[in-house]
Structure 1
Amino acid sequence: MGSGGDVIVKRAKYKKTAKTPGIPGVFKLTVEEFAFAPNDPTSGTRFRVSLNSIKGHRFTKEETSKQVLLNLLKKGEGSEGYIFEFENFRDRDICRDFVGKALEKHTDENQADQKHADEKQADQKHADAQISAKEMERRIKLFQDDSELGKLHKQLVIGRILTEDEFWATRKKLLDGGNNRSSTQRVGFKSAMISDIKPLTDGRTNKVTFSLTPEIIHQIFAEKPAVHQAFLNYVPKKMSEKDFWTKYCRAEYLHSTKNAVAAAAEAAEDEELAVFLKQDEILASQARRKIRKVDPTLDMEADQGDDYTHLPDHGIPRDGNKEITESLSHYDQFKRNLSQDLNRHAAVVLEGRALDVEIGDTRTVAEALARSKKVELVNDTSETNNNQERFNRVCRMTEIEDLQAPHEPLLAPLCIKDPRDYFYSQQANALKTLGDSAIGGRSVNRHVSTGDAYCSMRESISDIKSVGLQTSIIKAEVAFKVLNSLTHNISSTKYTLGSNNRETVLDRLPSRTKEELLNHWASIQELLKHFWSSYPITTQHLSVKVNRLKDAMAQIYPKLQEIKESVQSDLRHQISLLVQPMVQALDAAFAHYDADWQKRMAKSGLKPNGSI
């Protein structure tokens, strides 16, 4: 037999004591475990043991003993252990040295794991101590509002079946209440306008240089939708990115000269350049769409007396020059308005960045911005009908309060904290209503023939065609009786006994037995929720948790059996019907656990009985 790497295989005899003859077989040793397989396949002495369960080892010395023994001592069991007799001291020494190194490694790992566990426990205690007073108040408030939740917490958390974090992890919405949303703040655009970025000129030549950084390009796309759309259309289909920005800078230079005639002439010769020289039609369309959203009852038109731009020596200088207002209308589309640029820049700065992508690749930024704008446009058009919204605004602003119909009283929202309390109360109302009416004192024929149903439907259709839907088809008193009857049926899902006896099975039980049965059902639901959410088992923590839940669920079986045996004999069948879905849910969980355990054992090469 040989050895190599992390696996050692030697012939040896397994002995329960040093004096017994021993069972010949094969001893296999790895850094994680050791195993013994007898030569006789019918022998039941097969085992596989993890080295984590070994605290140390002893061996016989060559000069003092003829037996070549190696004793692997079990943890917490005195000097007892696994005794192996090898064929020679050389094989024994190889295994002895290997075990020594493996145990030393496991000791260091266990100490590190223990230290990590202690630190984690200390952090958990610190975290528990750091629970804010506000969160503690919310938990106490939940216990006060829902007594069943308090019972579950006491049974599962205080009973050490679930941890505090595991119990509340499935109830984050109850704790958060929708108010614990973390908000992230994006870095906005700089307040400096793009037009303030001056080109660099070479004093010796007529060369003009613009400096475009990724930040400036992103801002250009945000402030100038036409440039953004042109980039998506032209790059790289018609031109390279360098040629695109060269044309853009050329257009910016022409705008800075204030020569609309020259700009129009170059735009006529180069259609790509014309996109940058003309006014932005996409911005104009967005402005018109925003104007349609303005409250039509507000007069936003400025007073003519406040307009001083028509007077001489008034106006806002741009680039050191005053804008020339007197020009031919033919060149108006090649002019820029400082107020519009200023307003657009201010709007973009206030909106902030709409992208979470990293600034770098220009194409990626452009496509991401296009997707965000498309989403905004879809949401904008799908939220409201603009015409209907404007009409509603006008109606709200022009209505006279004295001439309006009286408002209906506000209805309080229905909040059912315990469904059982609701159905119990409604059951009493339903029984009272059905008992006082004629329908409650006699048998009601709830089945009609197909022909009668068809005739009734045709009569209803004829009435709607002739009269219209001015009044309800179903009478209010009939609908109320049907609602009460349905509520009674829902609240009687606890298997009502007899057709004339309205008393339910749970109502006939002693109050203590009834509460125990309902509490067991709530416990089963909570345990199964945590059980199924733990699969697939990928960590040691989940494995320990599932075993803990399995043990807790196994303890419910005898308790349910005790309940069935404690009631009267005439109620045991009905109790069995109530308990049956609980047992089936538990059986399904245990079947899944067994199948998964078998699968994991087969995957690891182990047999269910621990043999090899």
Structure 2
Amino acid sequence: MASINIAAKYKISLKEPGIAGVLRMAEERFTFTPHDPRSDSKLDVPFRSVKAHKFSKDGSKQALLNIQLHEGGAYIFDFESFSERNVCRDFVGRVLAKLQSVAPAKVDKAVPNKTAPSVSGEQLSAMEMERRMKLLREDSELQKLHKQFVMTGILTESEFWATRKNLLDDAVHNLTKQRTGFKSSMLADIRPSIDGRSNKVHFNLTAEIIDQIFAEKPAVHRAFLEFVPNKMSAKDFWKKYCEADLLHKTKNVVAAAAEAAEDEELAMFLKRDDILANEVRQKIKRVDPTLDMEADQADDYLHLPGHGILHGGRKDTSDAENELSRRTLSQDLNRHAAVVLEGRTLDVESGDIMAVAEAHVMSKKGSSIETSDKSENQERQEKACRMTELEDLQGPRRLPYASLCIKDPRDYFDSQQANALNSLGDNGVGFTSIDNSLSLEESYTYLIKQISEAKVKGHIDIVEPDVALKVLDGLNNHLSSTKHHIVKNPLVSVLDRLPVAIKDELMDHWTLIQELLRHFWSSYPITTGYLYNKVLRIKEAMAQIYHKLQEIKESVHSDCRHLVFLLVQPMLQALDAAFAQYEADDQKRSAKGAKPNGFFKQG
């Protein structure tokens, strides 16, 4: 029994709008996966726990399916159309009838809030399933093929969509939109508003500004996840951050140190960003050591001990004993430029600050900062050794060679041509002279011989007159009828001259044949039992269409029989070629006495 995947809404009660998702039904269980991955309304229910099912009448307001359980309770699903609801209703009915026919087994309990593996053998995300459903809704022909092949069990979901990866890729390309990057304005340009009456400073921190703060200052992002909401609220956290930002802008190190000594929570914003310092150390390790680092007068390593710009024979570095940050405007500019060039890794659409912080964590999981492993270090050391080799201490690197003695090329080619002509003459192969000149007596004898042969044979008709007349009459009748139709409407094709019913039926059969042949020929060579059973299913479906085409040829009116023959004949030839391939491969396999791996006989 084939599995089905249909879009539906899961409802806890009839009055609720429902949760959109995908309902998957297999022979043993049915599952429901919401489109929203954060939703808890995931279902995994075995059919053995189902007692009965109810459904709304066709033509009512909603296409509902109510699946009731043995232990009480029910699952209500709302479908987009009654046809899709009826497919699930009939599927549930067949499964329940099959379970009732066998011996009663122990009833399993439903397992909600648990993601079940895909019944079709492939793990599909909610976004992937949504793309497939959207393609089926937008393309009626594709939806018809899906119902014809997948619902009837001729093809599985994965087989059907395997030949349409280009459509899925196009859908992904159309859905993906360009992310808006960070603004060029720096965080330093965000000016607070000062209330003169109450002497209060107000900062307006939007979700976009907070996203930029998390990107440019990883230590603030780490502190937010650590303190909010366990130790303080988000409002108090950003209040401390703004106070530290004001102290940093005043550039009063003494006042900042005094405030940090009294308030530990404020001090964490005034300390040096150890995450950025670690990133800079990793950058230094990846730098080619053969470069002159002191020649770079615009480095971004001033906040690291032992790095800085030379001023009068000494370096202006931060005091190692003072842990407060003393970054300059140039360093802030460089950090902001690096974040802008890196681009935004997520879209900030909601005002949920915690969601923005968690999204930054997920985006950083895929790319680790410490990318320099032992192999990279070894490669970097080898490169440094190659670049720092002293040429005067190295041995000569000259490849061995054989001296080339160039002679007169004319002697070589002349000798080769003479050898070739001699070999042709010795073997009796080559050009031979033919003497076409004949004497007078030889010409006369040849002419008399030709006249004698003509007298013996006589004048025999090449084609019999009766047969020729019959063929010409048939051609004239066909040409006259064709000319009549063409003159009547020269732009009308062969299909347009057929009745609408026959035309639609032939077009549907041709579409089905194309799909079946595509899967048939892609299954060869048959190397597994899976491919063997797939070819068997496709062959049976093609045989049914073959008989239907034969019936159309025989039942059509005599006026359209020739036109139908012109359209049906290529279809039959394509199917005959597929049947011939199957018979030849089957005979070859029977002669060897071997069956594909994993072969099993279908009942």
Same-fold call, TM cutoff 0.5 = no
Q: TM-score, normalised by structure 1?
A: 0.39
- Larger RCO, structure (CA 8 Å, separation 6 or more): 1
Provide TM-score, normalisation by structure 2. 0.39
